[in-house]
Amino acid sequence: MSTAKQREARLEAVADEIRAHKGARCGFEVCETCTQLVPGVGPASASIVVVGEAPGAKEDAAGVPFVGAAGKLLNTLFDEAGIARDDVFITNVVKARPPKNRDPKAPEVAHHWPWLEAQLEIIAPQLLVPLGRHALARFAPDAKIAEVHGTAIEVEGRRLFPLYHPAAALYNGGLRATLVADAQALGRALR
């Protein structure tokens, strides 16, 4: 088996472990009330990993991240950045939908964190794109999204390129233009 195939198999093994967790009765509300856990989508060879917050209702039903309205905008942003979907792995900090889409709680984030670390270790992306302040806080606790969005920052050996969360632009039309400009800057940072 080639190295690329081995990485793919390791990434799939993490996804299997995440999905199997649904039956684990761990006591965490998100894991027990979701329809299914949502590991992420994309190849182990991805050079970019996009990290959202947690699945919403559509993602909970489909088992795939960013398939709803925020996902459509995310696809537009990839186009603006000139990024091919095949070059991206998309996942969330928390792999299970919080009831009524509430913010994930810190213990839930800590509970799911090792899966994200395992995915990042296998993929070893050139660039990590946290979407919104919650995802950013996991990688750069001292950074403020209003100050660092649309720029590359280096934190603990990781190259981050934070963007506002696309869902925020669905409620705040003014943010959409900023997100598009930031996505174009992301495209330039990759060239």
Which CB atom, from 6 or from 33, has the smaller least distance to ligand URA?
33
Burial class from Cβ neighbours inside 10 Å (0-12, 13-18, 19+) for residue 84 reads exposed
- Shortest distance, CB of residue 166 to ligand URA, whole angstroms? 8
Which CB atom, from 60 or from 185, has the smaller least distance to ligand URA?
60
Which CB atom, from 3 or from 143, has the smaller least distance to ligand URA?
143
- Shortest distance, CB of residue 26 to ligand URA, whole angstroms? 21
- Shortest distance, CB of residue 123 to ligand URA, whole angstroms? 17
Residues in the site for ligand URA, rule: CB under 6 A? Answer: 52-56, 59, 65-66, 70, 92, 167
- Shortest distance, CB of residue 68 to ligand URA, whole angstroms? 6
CB atoms within 10 A of CB 133: 17
Q: 75: which 2 tokens? A: 């696809």
Q: Which residue number has the CB closest to ligand URA?
A: 52
Question: Strand locations in 60-131, DSSP E?
Answer: 88-92, 127-130
CA distance 106 to 14: 22
Q: Which residues contact 153 (CB under 8 A, 6 or more apart)?
A: 140, 143, 159, 160, 161, 162
Which CB atom, from 74 or from 143, has the smaller least distance to ligand URA?
74
